[in-house]
């Protein structure tokens, strides 16, 4: 047997009751300390969750904005691909009709 068991076995009933009461009080105090730490941890976890939710919401808004600009850029790109040759041809025709012929190698 180990020392602690031998010590408990040698105790009188009164000493054993005091020993058990001391152990229960110590366990109760330790339980309360753990409970307080758990409450603090729960509060911090909730704050972290709230902050994370705000960050996720900000990323969602940013993502929507990026999709909007991507759509606008794609539309402008398609529009420029169709309009540019038309404008170049129109400009060349205007220049020819207004006395500005092409100059060759200049």
pLDDT tens digits along 33-80: 999 999 999 999 999 999 999 899 888 889 888 999 999 999 999 999
Give the integer Cα–Cα distance in Å for 12 and 15: 5
Give the integer Cα–Cα distance in Å for 9 and 11: 6
Computed on alpha carbons and rounded to an integer, the radius of gyration of the chain in Å comes to 42
Domain extents in the chain: 3-97
Give me the pLDDT at residue 104, please. Answer: 67
């Amino acid at each position: 047997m180990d020392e602690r068991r031998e010590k408990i076995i040698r105790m009188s009933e009164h000493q054993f009751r005091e020993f058990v009461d001391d152990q229960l009080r110590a366990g109760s105090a330790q339980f309360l300390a753990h409970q307080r730490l758990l409450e603090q941890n729960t509060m911090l976890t909730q704050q972290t969750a709230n902050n994370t939710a705000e960050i996720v919401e900000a990323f969602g808004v940013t993502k929507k904005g990026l999709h909007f600009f991507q759509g606008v850029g794609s539309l402008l790109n398609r529009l420029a691909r169709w309009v540019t040759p038309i404008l170049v041809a129109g400009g060349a025709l205007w220049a020819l009709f207004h006395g500005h012929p092409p100059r060759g190698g200049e």
